[in-house]
Structure 1
Amino acid sequence: MAASGEHIKALVRSHASGDDSAFYAVAMQVAAKAARQGHSRLAADIKHLIDDARQEPVVRNVTSIATPRGDLADLVQATFPKATFRDFVGPAEVVDQIKLVVSEQRQRSRLLEHGFAPVHRLLLAGPPGTGKTLTASVIAHELALPLLTVRLDGLLSKYLGETAGKLRTVFDAVNTQRAVYLFDEFDALGADRAGNDVGEARRILNSFLVFLEEASPESVVIAATNHRQILDHALFRRFDQVISYDLPDAVQARKIMQARLGGLGKGVRWASVVSHAEGLSHAELVKSVESAAKLALLGGNMTVTTTDLIDAVETRKMARRG
């Protein structure tokens, strides 16, 4: 075995502390030991990997980015999502678009080598609760990257007069720290500003467009909006891909509810449940199922009845109406 137990522990410690120099030094020791033991091919492979990693322009330390510091810490919320494609229920064309993003990012080096940038600037548009945030979570998980969420409505109100500078801070991170960056509530920034060309809002939007244009393809920048119709038309051509979301149809609604309910849904008459669920979003369907399931379990039952689900769905619809 090329690496000793001490080498492995040293590698883990240096990675956890974000000390790249120490990490590479220990890796070179492993390569040297492999060479001495006659594993010349292994030693050469390790050295090549180290050389390639040192030449990468983007910092790849996921541990350090998980707890943003300084100005960035006040602007983003960092998470490590666990959502996978199995958790996403939607039209096949939407799933295919998301898979394309993941595929191109995984093979970005090959694309960049031939002068092509991978898809890395996405606009997600659709009603609340239809899967936009879940999409960002799936992409982050599939790429093994942290998800850094920027709440633009809060950013605009908290840093009035400083917003452009704060956006630059975020995009500086985009260009140096590989991650998935989600600009939530994007309509707070991207709403059509016609007739306000010299105002603060126009200046902020123009700054965002410049930063977006220069964003590194090593990171994924996602803007999510509930109100596509009010967005400034200049935005759409700046994104590599625009993905539209709608409320789930009957087939999708059933899949969403079945997936969340799991084995607790044996014997449910789904046609009856789905007929009551029309108009609810992905998130609302999940909440309805969770409510019904918890009531059943707390009542000592190991299955959820059709009536339980219908009652939960109707309660959710009443809550929406206020």
Structure 2
Amino acid sequence: MATADQVKALVKSHAEGDNSRFYTVALQVAAGAARNGQNRFAQDLRDLVDGLRVQESHRRVTPVVSVAQPRGELAQLLSVSYPDLVLSDLVLEQSVRTRLERVLLEQRQGDRLRSHGYLPMRRLLLTGPPGTGKTMSAHVLAGELRLPLFQVRLDGLITKFMGETAAKLRLIFDALSETRGVYLFDEIDALAGERGSANDVGEIRRVLNSFLQFLEMDQSDSLVVAATNHPQLLDRAMFRRFDTVIDYPLPSPDIARQVIRNRLANVPVGRLEWSKLAADTEGLSHGEIAIASDLAAKEVILSGAKQVTTASLRLALRERRGHVS
């Protein structure tokens, strides 16, 4: 049965309207019940959580896109979307999930924090290998907070005329103040590489300085999310400008198993030998494991095979590893 801490977590998450946390704890209770042999109760609880998630997705209302459509020169710098993803849609290491839950909690309780003289976290730097969920986390933050997601188009921002780049940065930070949303600077190392590097030039340093100044001066309610696959390339001053830095590791065997199960949910699956699969998933990102799982699932559908087997899944994972190499 549920532990005392789990009961308290369920009540607390319900009171705060944190559905994602509520579902996570409920599934933890179900997992504990299954381990204790209470399989019927565990399955009923999982089915109940799944039903509530479906109801929640049906209640979501898509905002009117035209309200926040970038216009004029901003249309070349920002692309906008309205994600409906929630935190429970992502398979993440618990350390990462806990950090994102804290950001969401502070955003939802922002007025309460401000009344005591504190500001909610709103500047996030996400680091880690490609395919580990950094970009999708920005979509989740927008979906959970019912905000538009503005993705900064670096191809439109960075030009051969660095003076123009600084001017365009000002337009983006003006937009942060005018329209609340989640603003994603993906591959931020292209804009904020370390000053003083061997191939650095004065204009590049000035662009970085402008970015850091705009970031520090920004007092808007928007969330600024910067992501990079190469944190070692970032200027050290970047880290001081963010409220939190979240590192996304490659998936552990347990997380890899969850990714595989999620991707194979719509096809018949045989009894998988997870100890063998763990060796094949090691070193692959969440995204690579998902692609390999999809490949194995489609092979079953197209070939008429009865089910996904350990052998077919290992073959797909090894093929994916070859692409990565």
Q: TM-score, normalising length from structure 2?
A: 0.75
Q: Deviations over 1:20-42 (max 9, x none)?
A: xxxxxxxxxxxxxxxxxxxxxxx
Distance 1:121 1:90 in 2: 20
Q: Which residue, 131, 141, 144 being the options, matches 2:143?
A: 141
**Letter of the structure 1 residue corresponding to residue 316 of structure 2:** A
Q: Which residue of 258, 275, 279 maps to 2:279?
A: 275
The amino acid that maps onto 2:272 is: V
1:83 is displaced (CA, Å) by 2.4
Q: How many residues align?
A: 261
The answer for the alignment partner of 2:91 in structure 1 is 89
Paired AA for residue 150 in structure 1? V
Relative to structure 1, the CA distance from residue 158 to residue 252 in structure 2 (aligned partners, 3 Å threshold; closer, same or farther) is farther
Equivalent pair of 1:192/1:233 in contact (CA under 8 Å):
yes
1:303 alignment partner in structure 2: 307
**Cross-structure match for 2:290:** 286
Q: Which residue pairs with 1:110 in the alignment?
A: 112
Stretches of structure 1 lacking an aligned partner (at least 5 in a row): 1-60
CA distance in 1, matches of 2:216, 2:181: 17
- Tell me if structure 2 keeps the 8 A contact 1:117–1:217: no
The yes-or-no answer on 1:70 pairing with 2:72 is yes
**Does 2:181 correspond to 1:179?**
yes
Q: Which has the larger radius of gyration?
A: 1
The alpha-carbon deviation at position 102 of structure 1 amounts to 0.9
Alignment TM-score, normalising by the size of structure 1 = 0.76
After TM superposition, give the deviation of residue 228 of structure 1 in Å: 0.7
| Cross-structure match for 1:203 | 206
Report the CA distance shift for 1:273/1:198 in structure 2 as closer, same or farther (over 3 A): closer
Deviations 1:31-61 (A, max 9, x none): xxxxxxxxxxxxxxxxxxxxxxxxxxxxxx8
Give the deviation of 1:217 after TM superposition. 4.5
Closer/same/farther in 2, CA of residues 198 and 268 from structure 1, 3 Å limit: closer
Structure 2, unmatched stretches of 5+, are 1-62
| TM-fit CA distance, 1:304 | 1.8
| 195-204 or 312-321: bigger deviation | 195-204
Q: Given residue 278 of structure 1, which amino acid in structure 2 is its aligned partner?
A: E
| CA displacement 1:261-287 (0-9 Å, x = unmatched) | 215334222322222111111111111
1:302 deviates by: 6.1
Which letter maps to 1:145? L
C-alpha displacement of 1:229: 1.0
Q: Which amino acid is the alignment partner of residue 68 of structure 1?
A: P
> What SS class does the counterpart of residue 191 from structure 2 fall into?
helix
Name the residue aligned to 1:257: 260
Residue 323 of structure 2 corresponds to residue 319 of structure 1: yes
> What is the CA distance between 1:158 and its match in structure 2?
6.6
Q: Specify the code of the residue in structure 2 equivalent to 1:134.
A: M
* Structure 1 residue matching 2:151: 3-state secondary structure: strand
| Matched position secondary structure for 1:162 | helix
Letter in 2 for 1:210: Q
Which residue does the alignment assign to 2:134? Answer: 132
Is the CA contact (8 Å cut-off) linking 2:162 and 2:203 kept in structure 1? no
Matched letter for residue 116 of structure 1: Y
Contact 2:176/2:220 (CA < 8 Å) preserved in 1?
Answer: no
- Given that 2:76 and 2:153 are in contact with CA atoms closer than 8 Å, whether structure 1 keeps it comes out as no
Change (3 A) 1:302 1:220: farther
Local SS of the residue matching 2:261: helix
Distance (Å, rounded) in 1 between the aligned partners of 2:171 and 2:307: 50
Q: Closer, same or farther in 2 for the Cα pair 1:165/1:88, shift >3 Å? A: same
Q: Give the Å deviation of 1:109.
A: 2.0
